Structure 1
Amino acid sequence: MKETNIIAQNAKLDASCKIGYFNVFGENVVIGEGAVIGNNVTICPGTVIGKNVYIGNNCVIGKQPRLSKTSTIKNREPLQPLQLGDDCTIGENSVLYAGTTLGNNVFIGDLASVRERCKIGNYVVVGRGTAVENDTSIGDYTKIQTGVYITAYMNIEDHVFIAPMVTTTNDNFMGRTEKRFKYVKGAHIKKGSRVGGNSILLPGITLEEESFVAAGALVTKDVPAETLVMGVPARPARKVAEEELLPQE
């Protein structure tokens, strides 16, 4: 182990791990066999990292949140430590928060962040520079591309595709009135749905299974299953072609 690292005495690192320089590993950290940790990585106390995980340079893993004095979210520290499944890749300069779990074979791109109390399934891709806000769930095999903003309190199911630069929202009152707390909610994107680049989803809408949002659309209402919507505001244009639907299980 390189002398440039600061590692808590009760941290548990498998002997097969490869560790870079200038890292800080907190108390009760657990790192599984075959893990590769880059340089200048901070792994916060209690974080559990599975087998064959790659963590790039300059990452912060398992951070406890600190909120602004004007935040509408109540601070519920300390949260349970972050848990990373096996065979995950965490790109350079990414930040993952406590209270969140990642399944197996998750890919987090460079400069991405995943906030607290999120549940990320297996084989999920979170693209470069994408932000996943708190209290969001993402299902298995979902792909979220570069520069996407996933707002808090979203539910994204399995096999969803979200193209680059998509924006999602959760507050129709834009921070005004006490009434907003009752209704704050992100979109529910159901299995197999696809969201085109640079589109915007307004708060609380539902995209039913296998729906398709065209690039640049502004989605203000629920989208029916297997339906393509497009425009500003988005309106139904046609049914999704049968050849594009997911195979029946």
Structure 2
Amino acid sequence: MNQPSEIGENVVIGENVTFGENVQIGNNVVIYAGTTIGNNVIIQDNAVIGKQPTRAKASILPDVKHLPPAVIGNGVTIGTSVIIYANAEIADNVFIADLATVRERVTIGESTIIGRGVAVENDCKIGKCCKLETNCYITAYSELGDYVFIAPCVVTTNDNYMARSKERFGKFKGVTVKAGGRIGANATILPGKTIHEDGTVAAGSLVSKDVQAETIVLGHPAKEFKKVPQNQLLRNQ
């Protein structure tokens, strides 16, 4: 079995962790049992990989006793103080910047960038070649297609009942952003809304209805502004 090519101080590695070739590990890193780490991976100081989720006593989420280990692909960079939970699957050449969190049952496609302080909550699917910029929030049960762009401080939501009434149980629904969708800085997307292919949300907008393909929306609430210019469409890049 391979061993890390570089390893810092105070590193904790659980049982049956599998390493590829040329893995670099910084100081104070914790890697939980069973985690799989590919070739040419960089794990920087204070990162935690494969953490089992904990559940608040008042949580409505199901109590899961033990999840499968995390899987980290080839060429992945994991920044300082990143936390990646168990049952997360990170594809090849993903970059996860400092202080980001990737929760359980999340998949991230190849060559995607997860920016500084980004939170990807449980049960999300992120496509390939996406860019999620600093401090954006991807709510649980969301799905982002390939080549999606999320600007800084975007907020997505999944609970129309805002934590009141039992009616909300079983009705949580994240957002869907289809291939090439783009969301500008500080926009808010309400639960269950879909941004269709190449749909674009202007900065600061509140999305309360689905965004149609190749359409720019803006405002509070967001309304159609104009069509996305031809030279901006994903197929023309």
Q: Give, as a single letter, the amino acid of the residue that structure 2 aligns with 1:194.
A: R
CA distance, structure 2, for counterparts of residue 167 and residue 129 of structure 1: 13
Q: Please point out which of 106, 111, 117 is paired with 1:118.
A: 106
Q: Give, as a single letter, the amino acid of the residue that structure 2 aligns with 1:129.
A: G
CA distance, structure 2, for counterparts of residue 149 and residue 103 of structure 1: 20
Q: Tell me the C-alpha RMSD between the 2 structures.
A: 1.1
Counterpart contact for 2:4–2:24, Cα < 8 Å: no
Aligned length: 237
Aligned counterpart, 1:71: 59
Structure 1 runs (4+) greater than 2 angstroms displaced: none
Q: Does residue 98 of the first structure (1) align with residue 89 of the second (2)?
A: no
Query: Which consecutive unaligned segments of at least 5 residues does structure 1 have?
Result: 1-11
CA distance, structure 1, for counterparts of residue 22 and residue 120 of structure 2: 27
CA distance, structure 1, for counterparts of residue 29 and residue 94 of structure 2: 19
Q: Does residue 53 of the first structure (1) align with residue 38 of the second (2)?
A: no
Query: Which consecutive unaligned segments of at least 5 residues does structure 2 have?
Result: none
Deviation at 1:65, TM superposition (A): 0.4
Q: TM-score, normalised by structure 1?
A: 0.93
Q: Please point out which of 131, 135, 146 is paired with 1:143.
A: 131
1:243 alignment partner, SS class: helix
Q: Does residue 205 of the first structure (1) align with residue 193 of the second (2)?
A: yes
The within-5 A match list for 1:1-249 is: 12=1, 14-15=2-3, 17-247=5-235
Counterpart contact for 1:65–1:77, Cα < 8 Å: no
Residue deviations 1:138-190 (CA, integer Å, cap 9, x gap) = 00001100001111000100000000000000000011111112321111000
1:183 alignment partner, SS class: coil
> Matched residues, percent identical?
49
CA distance, structure 1, for counterparts of residue 4 and residue 77 of structure 2: 17
Q: TM-score, normalised by structure 2?
A: 0.98
Counterpart contact for 1:17–1:32, Cα < 8 Å: no
CA distance, structure 2, for counterparts of residue 83 and residue 220 of structure 1: 36
CA distance, structure 2, for counterparts of residue 98 and residue 228 of structure 1: 37
